[in-house]
Amino acid sequence: MTDPSPDLVIYGSLVSPFVRKVAGVCILKNAGYEIEAVNVFAPPQWFRDISPMKRIPVLRDRSIATEGTGGTIADSSAICAYIEKKHPSPALYPAEAFAHARALFWEEYADTALAMAGGLGIFRPVFFAVTKGEAPDLAKARSTWAEQMPVILDTLEAGLAGEQYFAGGALSIADITIACVLGQIALVAEMPLDNWPGLAAHYAMMSAHPAIAAPYAEADKAIRGPLPEKVQLA
Ligand SMILES: N[C@@H](CCC(=O)N[C@@H](CS)C(=O)NCC(=O)O)C(=O)O
């Protein structure tokens, strides 16, 4: 970012889909930010103090406070909602009430159901194994893809209902979150979406967007060292 000392600091790592989601929202809104690396698996005490659930990301708004818990917000959804208020344009939450709620639902679905299966069931068994010098746990990743993912991908495909975007007929927090969390699978595996053509088109469109592509490229750089080749899920 060009701003040498932006208000917004994101604590975490772009390897996290939730950190990429927050970075993507900042990019879309042209809000200056910087990432301060935190190893969430061995966090320093100051980070535990600002992250009650010991999770990344946490945001700090330096215009509010530069240290301690002041000016900090944990949880990507709370953070993105804050950035929306601070930088309203372009709007990433539909104005119409029902579409707004649908966008929040899809954000939550991606943060929970999709992240549990894709993150805990595919990304971690592959990537955490190789960072420990072990072979990727292909059995776990493949069984998750075969047994848990189809219903989730069916739900997303049905949710799109042939539309370009998930809620309100325009790019929203729903699209950003779904693309970032699906990207967690794509970081470690070839992700065959042929059975879900609407979702495949959505993912292709979103992955090409600079707000998704730039943070993803940083994560990809970090992953390709320990895992030069993506694994096959089928
Ligand atoms: N609901 C949280 C989820 C954040 C989350 O689970 N982050 C992961 C990294 S992708 C984490 O911090 N994990 C730490 C751990 O499992 O101990 C959000 O949206 O910010």
Cα(16) to centroid(ligand 1), Å: 8
The reply to whether 127 falls in a domain is yes
CA-to-CA separations, 72 to 43, 86, 145, in angstroms, rounded: 16, 14, 36
**At residue 85, does pLDDT exceed 90?**
yes
* CATH code at position 185: 1.20.1050.10
Residue 121 and residue 194 in one domain = yes
Distance from Cα 113 to the centre of ligand 1, integer Å: 13
* In a shared domain, residues 108 and 36: no
Q: What is the pLDDT of residues 140-170, one digit of tens each?
A: 999 999 999 999 999 999 999 999 999 999 9
Structure tokens given for 169: 């007929």
pTM above 0.95, yes or no: yes
Indicate the residue among 86, 108, 126 that finishes a domain. 86
Q: Residue 162 C-alpha to ligand 1 middle, in angstroms?
A: 31
Q: How far apart are CA 83 and CA 77, in angstroms?
A: 10
Fill in the amino acid letter for 5.
S
Same structural domain for residues 115 and 27? Answer: no
* Ligand 1 pocket residue status of 16, Cβ below 6 Å: yes
